[in-house]
Amino acid sequence: GSQNAIEEVGHGKIETNSERADRLKVGSHCSLHISDVRAEDAGKYTCQQYLSNGSQHGSDAPVHLSVLNSVSGDTHSLFTRVGDNVSLSCTNVVYPNCSSTTWNHHIKRLETTIEEVGHGKIKTNSERADRLKVGSDCSLHVRDVRAEDAGIYNCKQILSNGSQHGGDAPVHLSVLTNSLSTPVTDTKPDRPVTLRCFLYTYDGPGNCSRGVTEHVSLLWLDETGNKLKKDSRHQVTQTSDCDITLTLQKEDNNRKWICQ
């Protein structure tokens, strides 16, 4: 109510006793500029014109400021494996029923952006519609992840009038993928087998030079969880931080290897 109103600006000057004085500024057209916006800045702001005799000229000009609960625009990295299920969080939700939530998937190799979710509903024309689901918190659930699911997913809030509310909430999904250099049918008891493990990112297979927001380094482990090193039984070749190959000798058949 008006009894809780705080005067931030008086006669064009920031009130120095305001707790937010260091974050406020009056613009050249008498607008109020707020830097480093916080949740408590939300509320109703009213601009009034008072003449030198103390009387108000004209009517109030109210502005309602809403503040998103979490920061938009920061890209979050998410890592998963082929075949797993993954949940991509949306951090800028406006309506709890997800009616304004849109999820777009940007695929760099195809230079295309696909709308997977519109106004909280899975797009039925999406090739992946049967593997997608919108969570109760407007997150995007992807089932049975595949390498081609990698990319940047953008959660946006589009209001009923078509305008976007707040900023984007991007999630960079990278998918850990394994491949056998020789088809299983061609492997022979006395022949080495090469296993390639790579991270499929926005930039493609084995490329994490851009887009991944945190440092990544892959390694091969044996079944006891110890890091494999190059020796007479196996050879480890690291092409990049996101691409590592393991060559197994014949005596290593029927054993388990883990890439992470």
* CATH number of the domain enclosing 91: 2.60.40.10
249 and 183 in one domain?
Answer: yes
Give the C-alpha separation, 164 to 58, whole Å: 32
Q: Which residues of 16-34 are buried (b: 16+ CB within 10 A; e: fewer)?
A: eeeebeeebeeeeeeeeee
Q: Report angle CA 112, 113, 115 to the nearest 5 degrees.
A: 145
- The predicted structure's pLDDT at residue 130: 94
pLDDT tens digits, 78-94:
888 899 999 999 988 88
**In this model, does residue 251 exceed pLDDT 80?**
no
90 and 158 in one domain?
Answer: yes
**In this model, does residue 73 exceed pLDDT 50?**
no
Domain count, the chain: 3
Answer yes or no: is 238 within a domain: yes
How crowded is residue 242: how many other Cβ atoms within 10 Å of its Cβ?
24
Residue 148, helix vs strand vs coil: helix
215 and 202 in one domain?
Answer: yes
Answer yes or no: is 184 within a domain: yes
81 and 54 in one domain?
Answer: no
Answer yes or no: is 71 within a domain: no
Of the residues 65, 89, 112, which one is the last residue of a structural domain? 65
Give the C-alpha separation, 65 to 44, whole Å: 6
168 and 81 in one domain?
Answer: yes
- The predicted structure's pLDDT at residue 257: 67
* Domain span including residue 117: 76-173
143 and 109 in one domain?
Answer: yes
Q: How would DSSP label each residue in 185-237?
A: GG--TTS-EEEEEEEEETTEET--SSS--S-----EE-TTSPBP--SSSEEEE
Answer yes or no: is 70 within a domain: no
Residue 4, helix vs strand vs coil: helix
Give the C-alpha separation, 190 to 181, whole Å: 16
196 and 225 in one domain?
Answer: yes
CB within 8 A of 171, min separation 6: which ones? 75, 76, 77, 78, 88, 89, 152, 153, 154, 155
49 and 132 in one domain?
Answer: no
Of 48-57, 179-188, 211-220, the poorest mean pLDDT is in 179-188
| Stated pTM of the model | 0.62
Residue 69, helix vs strand vs coil: coil
Q: What is the rounded average pLDDT for all residues in the chain?
A: 80
What CATH number is attached to the domain comprising 238? 2.60.40
Answer yes or no: is 60 within a domain: yes
166 and 86 in one domain?
Answer: yes
